[in-house]
Amino acid sequence: MDYSYPLEPDWTTEEIIDAVKFYEAVEKAYEKGISRGELMKAYRRFKEIEPSKAGEKRIFNEFEEASGYAAWPVIRRLKDSPDEEIIKGAGA
C-alpha cells in the first residue's frame, strides 16, 4: 500500500481507527470478498463518523483517487445483497 487514507483533522483517534477499518473493508471486498455483515458493521460506523452525504461523497472520491478502489459500487452491492452474501468489488 503506497497511499494514505483520507482522514479528517477533527476526527478522534477512535474515529480514525474505525474509518481505517471501513477503508480496509472496501479493499477486502475487492481483493478477496467480504461478508455482508462485516461490511455493514464497518459502513454503519463510518456513517456515524461522517453522516453527511456530501462529506461521504468527498471522502469516497479522495479514497478512490488515492487507492484506486471505488467505495460506491461496494456499498451499492451491500444495499442490494441478501443477508450474509459475500460482497465483492465492482470488477469481481
If you compute the radius of gyration of the chain from its CA atoms, what whole number of angstroms results? 12
Q: In the chain, where does DSSP find H-type helix?
A: 13-31, 36-49, 53-67, 71-80
Q: Model pTM greater than 0.95?
A: no
d(CA 58, CA 41): 21
pLDDT tens per residue across span 24-76:
999 999 999 999 999 999 999 999 999 999 999 999 999 999 999 999 999 99
CB 23 within 8 A of CB 5: yes
Domains of the chain: 13-84 (1.10.220.80)
Q: Which pLDDT does position 5 carry in this prediction? A: 96
pLDDT tens per residue across span 51-65:
999 999 999 999 999
Residue 92 has pLDDT above 70, yes or no: no
Residues with Cβ < 8 Å from 75, sequence gap 6 or more? Answer: 43
